[in-house]
Structure 1
Amino acid sequence: MEDLISNVLFTASIWALPVLIAITMHEAAHAYVANMLGDPTARLMGRVTLNPFAHIDRFGTIILPVLCVISGWALAGTPFVFGYAKPVPVAVSRLNNPRRDMMLVAAAGPAINVVLAFCAAVLLHTVSWFPEWFSAWWQATLINGILLNLVLAVFNLLPIPPLDGGRIVTGLLPYELAVRYSKLERFGLFIVIGLMFLLPYIGREIGVDLSYAMQIVMFGVKNLLHFILMLTGQI
């Protein structure tokens, strides 16, 4: 029992910092860019800040990642952590150039996650500087930071409203088509759940691989990871 508790606590600890930083910076980037482009809504609500408490959603930032860690460790020994923060409010009509600027606001979140993954990869060079008792934790935390930020970046770029990729696509489409496409946002959560969880589950039950959305995400993560590791001299 002590080993089980120790392993769960260690696993939770090496995910806690990456989750908190990745989600906080993602939302803060949205808020910052929106304010820079003319919409102060998020700034006036205190969301242009690196204070994680301004962005934390009790369920999405705390409970859900913990459940992922516990259930993933118990079932497979290699937990996949997922979470989210409070969405940043954006008044599109207040942006200087609504269609263009909304794309930039949307792109800011995934962009900062890629930057964070790059920084974590650079910091891997510091692992050997520390004593063994700390270096193992530090290395695992950095690796999780790289993977989590890349997964968040690629996942959020899927072209499904209200994900960031969906909002970028909406900005690129002709106006009438963009209006129709944006109406998918009310069903966006169900579409994401269907593609990421329901279809793969059905596929497993019938013996067919239907995890197409996850394959797309992991393809993007794999290639971004390879590029970042090359840039930072890790490979």
Structure 2
Amino acid sequence: MLNGRNAVIYGGGGSIGGAVASAFAREGARVFLAGRTPGPLEAVAERIRHHGGTVETALVDATNERAVNEHADDVVAAAGSLDISMNVIQHGDVQGMPMAEMSVADYLRPVATAVETFFLTSQAAARHMMRQRSGVILVFGGSGNPVPGLFLGGLQTAFEAMESMRRQLSSELGSYGIRVLTLRSGGIPETLPQNMEGAGEIADAMTRSTMLGRAATLDDVGNVAAFAASDRAASMTAATLNLSAGALVDR
């Protein structure tokens, strides 16, 4: 589905970024993994190469405007285009604590980080995509009604902010043939740290909140992202792809 496409994934060494990168490479894309820690990036890259994919890595701070712009320029110089951009870096959120007990700094950190990094990486991609008059920008997270008993801190607000930005970008970039889409998962048990206190209970709560009796998996995320970035979704923009197994109900 993605032959000839060049995809940049910020946070490509993480579980979600790695799953998306693997799916993109499997579908023929040339993948550029960007992140701040070399070890995880190289681990994902090695898995992709083992299966015959094409991948490159770069150390990039996705909250640094100059670094983001220089990396996007390097990708285009090396590959000829920047066709897909997805940002799944960590936002420094504090979870497991009720809002009433949180500090304002802990609550606002993921909001500020999410807005800043999504702005910078989307802007860098848009500069090239507007000249190409094509491209796809993918958002991960979306928003939905909070699940009782899950304390997400500022993460939910960060997701809402990114959704607002996605709507604005869709409107501004549509005339250039650029599509902007959000993937909403409702939570992925596989991404919970094994040593996280209460991880089992949180995973169970994610599953119980679904209609299908199972939560989304990393494979689900990768498969849907590959579809969204491909021409099979050519008429889709300004929308969310709901892969939450019914946990997040669209209205």
- TM-score, with length taken from structure 2: 0.31
Q: Decide which structure has the larger Cα Rg and report it.
A: 1
Greater share of helix: 1
Hey, which of these two has a bigger chunk of strand by percent? 2
